[in-house]
Amino acid sequence: MAFTRSRGPVPEQLGFDGMPERLFVCTPSKLGAYVDCPRRYRFSYVDRPTPPKGPPWAHNSLGASVHTALKNWYALQLDRRVPGSLPTLLKATWVREGYRDVDQERVAYRAAQGWLESYAAALEPGDEPLGVERVVATKTSVLAFNGRADRIDGRDGEAVIVDYKTGRSGLDADDARGSQALALYAWAAERVFRRPCHRVELHHLPSGTVAAHEHTAESLARQVKRAEETAQDIMAAERAVAGGADADTEFPVNPGSLCSWCDFRKVCPAGQEAPAREPWAAVEHLSS
């Protein structure tokens, strides 16, 4: 979605010379990368050329394949939107990268097909979402946010954010409540669709469960404030580096269990402490 800075509902901050300060353009994953590990943020968004990444992850391939199949399913005419259409859609856009071998890939493919068929069978036929893989964008005095929501439903005059999950573990209401990404989507969707948006849902396809949370205006405002604080921290670090400060100091490492799954583990000495994972480690359980 095109984004016009001069037409937002909130006035822009004025810099020291009366010129508007640059807004921090961000997506949920950009903010999340910094919160998880400032060094990972720097590798992804600041250092150019981008440091070499590790090989593709099978679980990312699986997630992308399922998301694309559902997106294309909603693009079908209503009468063709039946579970039986999903195998063809899944096959057409299946991502093959990251699996150990063809046998493992086949197991993952069958699992994905089963998840999709069960999920689609439980959907209300004829329900037309407000948006599928829809970009929603809005801004505050600090940040210009844009993000692509998996699905935005219209229910009882309100917008509802739906996020598909394909990971191993199920999710609960705390995951839905704590997700900054979902809150930011809800906040942006409310403005884009000009209707209330308080409910956010995580749809875990492998278990067929839904974890939901009803936000209030206050809880959404808290998440937006947190996002603004993160944006301000990032901008301060970027300014410091541009002014000659040490980039390693301004974007410190945050080593932990996430390092095992970090694309930049090979170029990050701090990440070497965490055990290496094979690219297919997160889909191995599907074979057992």
Q: What is the binding site for ligand SF4 (CB under 6 A)?
A: 37, 39-40, 43, 253-255, 258-259, 262, 264-265, 268, 270-271
- Which residue is it, tokens 């801004």? 139
For the CB of residue 55, give the shortest distance to ligand SF4 in the complex, in Å. Answer: 15
Please identify, using beta-carbon distances, which residue of 210 and 267 lies nearer to ligand SF4.
Answer: 267
For the CB of residue 53, give the shortest distance to ligand SF4 in the complex, in Å. Answer: 11
Please identify, using beta-carbon distances, which residue of 128 and 273 lies nearer to ligand SF4.
Answer: 273
List beta partners, residue 146. Answer: 137
Contact 251, 39 (CB under 8 A): yes
For the CB of residue 126, give the shortest distance to ligand SF4 in the complex, in Å. Answer: 44
For the CB of residue 49, give the shortest distance to ligand SF4 in the complex, in Å. Answer: 16
For the CB of residue 238, give the shortest distance to ligand SF4 in the complex, in Å. Answer: 17
Which amino acid is residue 276, in one-letter code?
A
Please identify, using beta-carbon distances, which residue of 43 and 57 lies nearer to ligand SF4.
Answer: 43
Residue 202, CA atoms < 13 Å, CB-side half-sphere: 23
3-state SS assignment for residue 81:
coil
Please identify, using beta-carbon distances, which residue of 33 and 202 lies nearer to ligand SF4.
Answer: 33
**Continuous segment of H or E residues that includes residue 287:** none
Please identify, using beta-carbon distances, which residue of 27 and 254 lies nearer to ligand SF4.
Answer: 254
CA dihedral 53, 54, 55, 59 (to 10 degrees): -100
Residue nearest to ligand SF4 (CB): 271
Q: Nearest Cα to 166, choosing from 119, 200, 106?
A: 119
For the CB of residue 259, give the shortest distance to ligand SF4 in the complex, in Å. Answer: 3
Please identify, using beta-carbon distances, which residue of 112 and 268 lies nearer to ligand SF4.
Answer: 268
Contact 206, 286 (CB under 8 A): no
Please report the DSSP string for 48-90 in residue order. SSPPPP-PPPHHHHHHHHHHHHHHHHHTS-GGG-SGGGHHHHH
Please identify, using beta-carbon distances, which residue of 45 and 74 lies nearer to ligand SF4.
Answer: 45
Structure-token pair, residue 56? 């593709």
For the CB of residue 260, give the shortest distance to ligand SF4 in the complex, in Å. Answer: 8
Judging by DSSP bridges, how do beta strands 24-26 and 143-155 pair with one another? parallel
Q: Nearest Cα to 115, choosing from 213, 203, 211, 212?
A: 203
Judging by DSSP bridges, how do beta strands 209-214 and 24-26 pair with one another? unpaired
Please identify, using beta-carbon distances, which residue of 35 and 240 lies nearer to ligand SF4.
Answer: 35
**At a CB cut-off of 8 Å and minimum separation 6, what does 276 contact?**
260, 265
For the CB of residue 263, give the shortest distance to ligand SF4 in the complex, in Å. Answer: 8
